[in-house]
């Protein structure tokens, strides 16, 4: 059984993702950022591996010389 770690908004900030809630919502709706997991009535979290993959993809785009 694999364990999946969840991170909240503060965890996103720790990873360098400092988007406003509105911008994050737009990216999620556009399929450009991982969808959150509902963990409570007013709480969302993200699967850490998916956020790490998003960051890695952004780095790969940069290294390939492509703008997002």
For the entire predicted model, the pTM comes to: 0.87
The predicted-structure confidence for 5-49, as pLDDT tens digits, reads as follows 999 999 999 999 999 999 999 999 999 999 999 999 999 999 999
pLDDT band at 3 (very low <50, low <70, confident <90, very high): confident
- Select from 14, 43, 46 the least CA-distant residue to 27: 46
Q: Are 36 and 46 in contact (CB under 8 A)?
A: yes
């Amino acid at each position: 059984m694999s364990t999946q770690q969840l991170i909240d908004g503060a965890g996103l900030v720790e990873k360098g993702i400092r988007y406003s809630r509105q911008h994050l919502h737009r990216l999620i709706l556009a399929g450009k950022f991982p969808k959150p997991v509902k963990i409570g009535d007013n709480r969302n979290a993200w699967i850490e591996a998916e956020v790490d993959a998003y960051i890695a993809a952004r780095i790969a785009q940069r290294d390939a010389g492509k703008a997002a």
